[in-house]
Amino acid sequence: MSDNTKRSQPPWTAPDGCNEPKLRLYNSLTRSKEVFIPQNGKQVKWYSCGPTVYDSSHMGHARSYISFDILRRVLTHYFNYDVLYVMNVTDIDDKIIKRARTNYLLEKYSQEMKCPNEVISSMNEALKLFDTKMAAETSPEKLEMYKKFLSKAQACLENLKLAVKDSKGGDKIRAVMETVIKDGKDPMADWLDLKRGSEVTDKAIYSALTKHFEEEYHKDMASLNVLPADVLTRVSEYVPEVVEFIQKIIDNGFAYEANGSVYFMTSKFDSEEKHSYAKLVPEAFGDEAALKEGEGDLSISQDQLSEKKSANDFALWKAAKPGEPTWDSPWGKGRPGWHIECSVMASCLLGDSMDIHTGGADLKFPHHDNELAQSEAYYGNNHWVRYFLHSGHLTIEGCKMSKSLKNFITIQDALKKYTSRQIRFMFLLHSWKDTMDYSASTMECALQYEKMVNEFFLNVKDILRDLPSKGSEAFQKWGPLEIELDQQFTECKSKVHQGLCDSVDTKAALDAVRTAIGQCNIYIQAKRASKQPFERNILENYASYVTNLLRIFGTIEGDLPIGFPVAGQGQSNVEEAVMPYLKTMASFRETVRQTAKNQKVTEILQLCDDLRDNVLPELGVRLEDREGEKSVVKLVDRETLMKEREMALKQAEEKRLKKEAARRKEEERQAAKEAQRRIPPSEMFKKDVDKYSKFDDKGMPTHDAKGEPISGKQIKKLTKLYQAQEKLYSEYNGGQ
């Protein structure tokens, strides 16, 4: 055989590889995780239900907005999709109309009220109306809330009656009258709205309310580091498009006009072969309570209900009523129904089919099911939304959070207690689609995770400062520790990827990061213990990866390569600028400290400790002394250091009190022992009259408290105690 065959190019075999996990999203339309396939390559058309701006945003809203912000960031910056994110602001709605009206009427009434007896009479009428409202309520939660309102209003009313009877000064009565209006505003608002609501005609009253709370909403989102939408739509800007949309639904045979209102025919739509009503929650079809709530408080009068051909039909256009803002339409003056608003605004921007629609789980039925029905009736298709993603509910200490129940914590209040990063960590540590609880325990988990990650960043940065960053000296030979750590790093990245592919499971991703940080800490400890040099690149890559992942999740702002920003956004070079000075100071202090130790100069040692424990933390600097090693300098948020110092002082005080209590207990024990030594053995049992009734000549008990002779076994025990006391008493008397 000729060797010439060896001189040709040998065949090459491609590796088998492995099955790369694909991104799957939990789709409410199928109630399962589906492979995510956008309709047009990497482009993703996304619509998200935004706020109804009639009150402050609360943590229940944050549940949706932060969750969807995380999903959006991951799809954009991790999976590299080109996302167009559209969100609406609902500024025409029954809740808005009623809130704006009642706020206006309450303020006007408060300004005009003069006579306390008139206020008493008005509140009595309001409470009668409120009693009727309570009698008709079927929700136990709302009924309990109404009882609280009623009790509060009745108490204020009684105070006013007493003030009128007892007070001689008009100023005091005026103050009590204002308290009645403030604390009894819920019953009073309903009464005023019934009596005078139809008189409110100025559109500016409604727009002023929505503008105020929309602006507040945007500030809240910025505080939570939630990215603004690419496109923001307001209902009030799309009324002409709403009218055109409704007209086409009528033309397509799925809607009808009745007394100036327009209703969607659910039965006609559902009877079509290619259509299905209540896609998301089929079992809720015909849920009368949910349907009424979806129509709004101002749209469920008996006259309006009788206009419908079916109880399942819902309003696309609501005919004008006194005291409501109105717009022109072919069916007369009126306003859009709630459900049609999102259909129109989303369709105007995203067309006949979008990739993703998001919203809270409480919107599935009837709001989102109605959106789907009317949009598919308009387009004649059955795929207006490809993937419907719903965020889970948020509870407070296990209880439902709701604006309508007035059981909520505003975002502003939450941010007074926790940072936006800590709140976001809480969400990241839970599945976006499941119910989660906002409580001290869930926030503590978030705080501990943040602390663990931050300490990792600080330790790695401290190590990297002393390692060469350029040239041949920046590379060290990898030993077994580096090889093992790299394998663990690879496993971490794989688990993170698997987690994010699994319907963006951020909890699984963070769990993988937690494990990886623990492994990296073990590597650092092993290197320090063996006095071996660190390998710069592996530590830097590790910390950079975690930083970038957390930046994708929205917990890190700015462009720092490693760690959380300390000095604020836009000042990422502060650490680099001040660290040489801080390290010089730390080195000088350590020299002084060691000299003071050797010469036993306690005053200087105390000054060194004061610099570490009190002066530097005020400047956002943590100094850690390590025996036999150089001190470690870390830049940390001042607020964090203040909390650490407060905790350290608290623990020191607890330790002091515990030590003091132990000392007192020992003193009491010694005193009791000393007192016991002074008792003659003949007297020691005689004080126990509840146990013994007769004694012999030596003072030994012979009969118990009931007069029964003491058993031989008990006599033996008592004899031992007697003999022990004889010894103690003898020692007390000098051994005599």
Q: In 3-state terms, what secondary structure has residue 316?
A: strand
pLDDT band at 297 (very low <50, low <70, confident <90, very high): confident
DSSP string, 212-230: HHHHHHHHHHHHTTPPPPS
User: For residue 129, how far is the Cα from the chain centroid?
Assistant: 37
Q: What are phi and psi for residue 618, nearest 5 degrees?
A: -65, -25
Check whether 568 has a pLDDT greater than 60: no
Across residues 462-466, what is the average pLDDT? 91
pLDDT in tens, 603-635: 998 998 889 888 888 888 888 888 778 888 888
Check whether 2 has a pLDDT greater than 60: no
Higher pLDDT, 111 or 572: 111
pLDDT in tens, 415-426: 999 999 999 999
User: For residue 629, how far is the Cα from the chain centroid?
Assistant: 41
Check whether 4 has a pLDDT greater than 70: no
Task: Give the whole-number percent of the chain exceeding pLDDT 90.
Answer: 63
Q: In 3-state terms, what secondary structure has residue 72?
A: helix
| Per-residue pLDDT, 570 | 45
Check whether 589 has a pLDDT greater than 70: yes
pLDDT in tens, 674-712: 888 888 888 889 888 889 999 998 999 999 988 999 998
Check whether 97 has a pLDDT greater than 80: yes
Edge-to-edge strands, sheet with 354-360 = 231-234, 82-89, 43-48, 354-360, 385-391
Across residues 360-382, what is the average pLDDT? 97
The sign one gets for the Cα dihedral 721, 722, 727, 730 is positive
Across residues 705-722, what is the average pLDDT? 90
Higher pLDDT, 174 or 170: 174
| Per-residue pLDDT, 245 | 98
DSSP string, 673-716: HHHHHTS-TTTTTTT-TTTEEEE-TTS-EEEETTSPBPPHHHHH
Give yes or no for a contact between 354 and 110, defined as CB atoms under 8 angstroms apart: no
pLDDT in tens, 538-564: 999 999 999 999 999 999 998 889 999
pLDDT band at 427 (very low <50, low <70, confident <90, very high): very high
Q: What are phi and psi for residue 12, nearest 5 degrees?
A: -120, 135
Across residues 17-43, what is the average pLDDT? 96
pTM for this entry: 0.83
Q: What are phi and psi for residue 394, nearest 5 degrees?
A: -120, 130
Residue 586 CA to residue 589 CA, distance in Å, equals: 5
Pairing of strands 692-695, 701-704: antiparallel
Of the listed ranges 5-19, 144-158, 438-452, 510-524, the one predicted with least confidence: 5-19
| Per-residue pLDDT, 428 | 98
| Per-residue pLDDT, 525 | 94
Check whether 565 has a pLDDT greater than 90: no
Q: Determine whether 346 is exposed, middle or buried from the number of CB atoms within 10 Å of its CB (0-12, 13-18, 19+).
A: buried
Check whether 646 has a pLDDT greater than 90: no
Check whether 575 has a pLDDT greater than 90: no
Task: Give the whole-number percent of the chain exceeding pLDDT 70.
Answer: 96
Return mean pLDDT, the chain.
91
Of the listed ranges 149-153, 444-448, 515-519, the one predicted with least confidence: 149-153
Check whether 735 has a pLDDT greater than 70: no
Across residues 305-318, what is the average pLDDT? 91
My answer on whether omega of the bond before 366 falls inside 30° of 0, hence cis, is yes
Residue 229 CA to residue 84 CA, distance in Å, equals: 8
Across residues 572-590, what is the average pLDDT? 79
Beta strands in 429-562 (DSSP E): 436-438
Check whether 567 has a pLDDT greater than 70: no
Other residues' Cβ atoms within 10 Å of the Cβ of residue 424: 26
Residue 265 CA to residue 260 CA, distance in Å, equals: 16
Residue 563 CA to residue 255 CA, distance in Å, equals: 57
Task: Tell which residue, 473, 457, 610, 429, has the closest CA to residue 521.
Answer: 457
Reading the block at residue 290, the tokens are 């949910």
pLDDT in tens, 227-277: 999 999 999 999 999 999 999 999 999 999 999 999 999 999 999 999 999
Question: How far is residue 585 from each of residues 145, 589, 593, measured CA to CA in Å?
Answer: 60, 6, 12
Question: How far is residue 409 from each of residues 61, 221, 265, measured CA to CA in Å?
Answer: 10, 15, 39
Beta strands in 583-672 (DSSP E): 621-624, 632-635
